[in-house]
Amino acid sequence: MTLTAPGSTETSPALQADSSAGGPVAPSPARGLVCRNCGATFGLIAEHACAECFGPLEVDYDPELMRAVSRELIESGPQNIWRYAALLPVGQDPADRVTLDPGMTPLVRADRLAAELGLTGGLWVKDDSANPTHSFKDRVVSLAATAAKRLGYSKIAAASTGNLANSVAAHAARVGLPSFVFIPSDLEPGKVVQSAVYGQTLVAVDGSYDDVNRLTSELAETDEFEDTAFVNQNVRPYYAEGSKTMGYEIAEQLGWRIPAQVVIPMASGSLLTKVDKAFRELVAAGIVEATEWRIFGAQSAGCDPIATAFDNGWDVVKPVKPTGIAKSLNIGNPADGPYALDAIRRTGGAVGRVDDAQIVQGIRDLARTTGVFAETAGGVTTAVLRQLVEDGRLDPAEETVILNTGEGLKTLDPLEPVVGPTHRVSPSLSSVRAAGLIG
């Protein structure tokens, strides 16, 4: 694979490949980018929009190279996303990787939650709070940063309100790569600390997340940021492929089997489309048996444009102004919404939406029955699972996997008013007795 460098080809010393790693390196299966809208093809360039129709660009793979990948090859790899390097666009050579080595997060058997909901086919939680910065964003940032290096960029950047900011700054800190993270200035102090602690450039912008996003789009066009990869803008096609690894891992951790039903939270909708794509790729490569699966999407009522489009049978997604506590899902104009709708409809799935009270209850239900403490997005998924079961849209007799994409420690605020000590006592046996804990 040859990636075309952007304007600036100067790279910092930290970005030079360590050729001392040696050993044989598998080829990348990526042969170019393809427009998901019009099908126009391009080289492996640093663009996310089609020059013909402005449609979104996606990585295009050589099917023969994909078919050459075996279970054994994957199983002989490291315990992280790079075990799937032969199915990814970049990172085949360990020396090329800019990464915290995320992935191979636990697939937790959720028997107690299954019993409560009446699910008899088996229920699992794919828990991405176990990633290095405790969200699934580590997967996409590892791909974006690695692609950025291969494309000749010397800096990385992102607009974010939380998980992405943490991950970009931590990746940059690990390898000594300059990074620029742009956040709305009214973020909670805790979230600011989580990104600022890595000692990278952190820019507070007086405006909404949409304002921040618009500003970074403008900055990407300036001379000063010519050598900067904005992880979910100019290297987005590579970035997005990181989400496929969550699908690969679910299948591998089930013993190389695709689950019948998967419930996935939706912000831009990208993660959902990539999990579906991962399953299709595994089937096409002959790595798993071709079984049927259904993909379900989860949104919060405060930001439900994909749910609304699904309910109304629309192919397009009408933007909304997001509200509500599931901030990591609050993308009002989801770039991959139409593609998410396609995957859901094609597989016979559905979309659920839940309000803030249900989200908090979802976090509590998951923690109480599995010991997994999810951020609000995980609460959305758990609450939507319950809703889908109650509505009869999810088959309780089929095996089901739900995705937890982030860590509860990052979104404590909505829980503070509703969870607390069950008893309060003085440090004496008589006080404990009065509280009813002992007779």
Q: Which of residues 114-133 bind its own copies (CB under 8 A)?
A: 130, 132-133
The smaller minimum CB distance to its own copies, of residues 198 and 296, is found at 198
Q: Which of residues 146-175 bind its own copies (CB under 8 A)?
A: 169-174
Of 25 and 412, which has the nearer Cβ to its own copies? 412
- d(C-alpha 336, C-alpha 275), whole Å: 13
Q: Which span (81-89, 262-270, 393-401, 429-437) binds its own copies, by CB under 8 A?
A: 429-437
Rg of the chain, C-alpha, whole Å: 22
106 binds its own copies (CB under 8 A): yes
Residues 373 and 363: their CA atoms lie apart, in Å, by: 7
How far, in Å, CA of 40 to CA of 223, rounded?
28
- Nearest approach in angstroms of CB 385 to its own copies is 17
Output the six-digit token pair for 202: 């952190």
Site membership for its own copies, residue 177 (CB under 8 A): no
Q: Does 254 bind its own copies (CB under 8 A)?
A: no
Our finding on whether 218 is near its own copies (CB under 8 A) is yes
Closest-CA residue to 28 (of 103, 84, 102, 101)? 84
Window 46-105: residues binding its own copies (CB under 8 A): 79, 100-101, 104
> Site for its own copies (CB under 8 A): which residue of 4, 16, 185, 291?
185
**CA triplet 421, 424, 368: central angle to 5 degrees?**
20
- Of 86-94, 218-226, 261-269, 281-289, the window that binds its own copies (rule: CB under 8 A) is 218-226
DSSP output for 82-116: GGGGGGSSS--SGGG----------EEE-HHHHHH
Residues 224-243 that bind its own copies (CB under 8 A): 224-225
Total residues binding its own copies (CB under 8 A): 79
b/e string for 21-30 if b means 16 or more Cβ within 10 A? eeeeeeebbb
Instruction: Give me the least distance between CB of 178 and its own copies, in Å please.
Output: 12
Site string for its own copies, 355-384 (x = CB under 8 A): --------xx--xxxxxxx-----------
Q: Which of residues 258-317 bind its own copies (CB under 8 A)?
A: none
407 counts as binding its own copies under rule CB under 8 A: yes
Q: Do residues 398 and 261 make contact, with C-beta atoms less than 8 angstroms apart?
A: yes
Sequence letter at residue 110: A
Q: By CB under 8 A, tell whether 408 contacts its own copies.
A: yes
3 state SS of 285? coil
